[in-house]
């Protein structure tokens, strides 16, 4: 069994800043300058007491001016929902991979407070480059601003509509170290760039996730990096099929995500 530790949200609750009135902020239109100051303050993303991570994320999306709900509704007008067989009038967006059209926006994405939490754990290592496989609307790049302002964020997203919205938000917030690349990462020619941290959600089927894990496995002995894996599917896959990620240096488990390392002990 892997040596490791199990953590909760106590770290967030202990540091939560009550200075942000999310209800009031979500009911008014903040200027670009005000928004830039908000995201530069990492406390903006810490989970306050008495609110769920998804509800907090919904409010932050509204405050920042994301158009996620509108975009996802348009997807459903043209493409079949992930849980239904393709129909003649609404076919799958991509054959052979999963784009999660029809999934609730707050399930599709990792909550801001979770991103703050695992980035805070990685703070002592001061990562210079973070890569996200299947970034959707690019939330990690936003949360990074207050924790690793000098770090580069490279995001991959298969749907151009989501990628374009992430770019629009990053430009509005002046996050010039964030790069969004519209690409199918399952293509044979896709090469994983060097990075200090890789983040991967359950972006598709286990077979698809395995493709990226195999490429990361090839870098395990030569490169120094952390892998943050979110979702029960990818965690089970690593536990059962890729013990190399946890058998030497252990693992940090949260309810919804895990951190693995290629070079330092996590227990």
Whole-number Å distance between alpha carbons of 189 and 110: 27
* Residue 166, domain CATH: 3.40.50.150
Phi then psi for residue 146, to 5 deg, are -85, -10
Size of the chain, expressed as the number of residues it contains: 267
Flag whether 213 is in a domain. Answer: yes
By CB atoms closer than 10 A (0-12, 13-18, 19+), residue 51 is middle
Whole-number Å distance between alpha carbons of 94 and 79: 9
Whole-number Å distance between alpha carbons of 203 and 214: 15
The per-residue pLDDT for 106 is 81
The per-residue pLDDT for 14 is 42
In 3-state terms, the chain is what percent helix, strand and coil (to 5)? Answer: 40, 15, 45
**Count of the separate structural domains present in the chain:** 1
The per-residue pLDDT for 19 is 63
Flag whether 81 is in a domain. Answer: no
Flag whether 140 is in a domain. Answer: yes
Whole-number Å distance between alpha carbons of 179 and 141: 9
The per-residue pLDDT for 45 is 95
Identify the CA nearest to 16 among candidates 165, 96, 116: 116
Flag whether 73 is in a domain. Answer: no
Positions of the chain with pLDDT under 50: 1, 14, 16-17
Flag whether 126 is in a domain. Answer: yes
Flag whether 117 is in a domain. Answer: yes
The per-residue pLDDT for 231 is 92
Its domain, for residue 198, covers: 4-65+105-261
Extract the tokens encoding 198.
Answer: 């890789």
Query: What is the crossing angle of helices 139-147 and 112-121, to 10°?
Result: 50
Flag whether 176 is in a domain. Answer: yes
């Amino acid at each position: 069994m892997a040596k490791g530790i199990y953590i909760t949200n106590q770290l967030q609750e202990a540091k939560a800043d009550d200075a942000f009135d999310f209800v009031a902020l979500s009911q008014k239109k903040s200027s670009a300058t005000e928004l830039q100051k908000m995201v530069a303050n990492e406390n903006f993303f810490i989970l306050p007491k008495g609110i769920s991570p998804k509800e907090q994320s919904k409010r932050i999306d509204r405050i920042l001016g994301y158009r996620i709900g509108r975009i996802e509704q348009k997807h459903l007008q043209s493409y079949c929902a992930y849980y239904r067989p393709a129909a003649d009038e609404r076919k799958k967006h991509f054959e052979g991979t999963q784009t999660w059209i029809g999934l609730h926006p707050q399930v599709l994405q990792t909550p801001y407070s979770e991103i703050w939490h695992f980035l805070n754990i990685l703070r002592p290592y001061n990562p210079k480059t973070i890569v996200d496989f299947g970034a959707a609307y690019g939330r990690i790049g936003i949360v990074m601003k207050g924790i690793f302002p000098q770090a580069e964020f490279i995001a991959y997203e298969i749907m151009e509509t989501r990628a374009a919205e992430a770019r629009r938000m990053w430009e509005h917030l002046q996050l010039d170290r964030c790069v969004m690349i519209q690409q199918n990462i399952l293509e044979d020619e896709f090469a994983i760039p060097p990075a200090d941290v890789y983040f991967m959600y359950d972006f598709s089927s286990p077979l698809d996730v395995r493709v990226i894990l195999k490429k990361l496995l090839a870098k395990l002995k030569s490169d120094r990096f952390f892998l943050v894996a979110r979702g029960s599917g990818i965690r089970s896959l690593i536990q059962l099929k890729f013990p190399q990620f946890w058998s030497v240096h252990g693992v940090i488990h949260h309810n919804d995500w895990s951190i693995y390392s290629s070079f330092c002990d996590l227990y």
